[in-house]
Amino acid sequence: MQNTVTIYTTPTCHFCKLAKEFFAEKNVQYTAYDVSADAAKREEMIQMTGQLGVPVIDINGDLMVGFDREKIAAKLGIEA
């Protein structure tokens, strides 16, 4: 099954960079939104999570705030 992965980020977010590097390392396709530049996506992220913390990672409709390599790998069904 193809995973649907979306990440809401900001350019200065260290954990956002780590998450993107992890996805690249594992060849995970994802869509990234820069919520510092995209007001509509920022609002969408706030509606989903109730807060402004990034990264917000949406894996197949399952949301997580922050970067947790083990949790992400488990949700994707891959090795961490």
What is the domain extent for residue 71?
Answer: 5-76
Q: What are phi and psi of 9, to 5 degrees?
A: -135, 175
Q: What are phi and psi of 35, to 5 degrees?
A: -75, -10
Crossing angle of helices 14-25 and 69-76, rounded to 10°:
40
Q: 3-class SS at 16?
A: helix
Task: Report the domain count for the chain.
Answer: 1
pLDDT at 1: 64
Q: Are 8 and 35 in contact (CB under 8 A)?
A: yes
Residue-wise pLDDT for 20-76, tens only, equals 999 999 999 999 999 999 999 999 999 999 999 999 999 999 999 999 999 999 999
Q: 3-class SS at 28?
A: coil
Residue-wise pLDDT for 3-32, tens only, equals 999 999 999 999 999 999 999 999 999 999
Q: Are 54 and 16 in contact (CB under 8 A)?
A: yes
